[in-house]
Structure 1
Amino acid sequence: MNPPFTLTLMFREYCSLCHKMRDALQPFQQQYGFGLEIFDVDDDPVLEEKYNERVPVLLDGDVEICHWFLDEAKLRAHLQHEHGSDS
């Protein structure tokens, strides 16, 4: 079964904050059932220029939810407002 929606994480393999945010998202994925696409900004010059020092960046489409650290309250509010998930 496909997830109802997918969030995007702009990431760098060598970035410890990126790994922390990815790991912190796991309980939210289990609770809300969303998919997670991870893009390494260093693999794409356009993404690298756009997000460079701001990674990790968590996005829902073009909407930035947070960057550098997972803002759990903002993520919950976004999920409830945009996706009607109040699990």
Structure 2
Amino acid sequence: MDDPDLPDPAGHAPRVVLYGRAGCHLCDQARTMLQRMETETGEAFTEVDIDTDDALREQYGELVPVVTVDGVQQGYWRIDAGRVRAALA
């Protein structure tokens, strides 16, 4: 699996990454919040299903959703939009 914190082929690392899994209602809430934030700020996010990678499943397990900005974890379970905005500033 590609590491979402590494640069893409164009050389750009995603600033915002949502780690989650299918069927996770808290992940759905975090995704909706990040979609609204994307509309407001123009800052796109990348979503990674931790169940597609054993190392990510081991790392994040039951903490999902987890949101990182510039590779720094901003929260898990219930994501604070204010904290994510502050990290993007």
Give the TM interval when normalised to the shorter protein. 0.7 to 0.9
Aligned residues: 77
Give the equivalent residue in structure 2 for 1:60: 69
1:76 paired residue number: 85
Alignment pair present for 1:27 and 2:70: no
For the aligned residues, what is the CA RMSD? 1.6
Paired position in structure 2 for 1:7: 16
Flag structure 1 segments of 5+ consecutive residues without an equivalent: 81-87
Q: What percentage of residue pairs aligned between the two structures are identical?
A: 33
CA contact (8 A) 2:68 2:74 kept: yes
Gaps of 5+ in 2: 1-13
The amino acid that maps onto 1:73 is G
Match of 2:46 in 1: 37
Letter of the structure 1 residue corresponding to residue 61 of structure 2: N
The residue identity in structure 2 corresponding to 1:23 is: T
1:50 equivalent in structure 2: 59
TM-score of the pair, normalised by structure 1? 0.80
Q: Which has the higher helix share?
A: 1
The Cα of 1:6 is off from its aligned counterpart by: 3.2
TM-score, normalisation: structure 2: 0.78
Q: Counterparts of 2:84 and 2:70 in 1: how far apart (Å)? A: 14
| Offset of residue 61 of structure 1 | 3.3
Deviating 4+ runs (over 3 angstroms): none
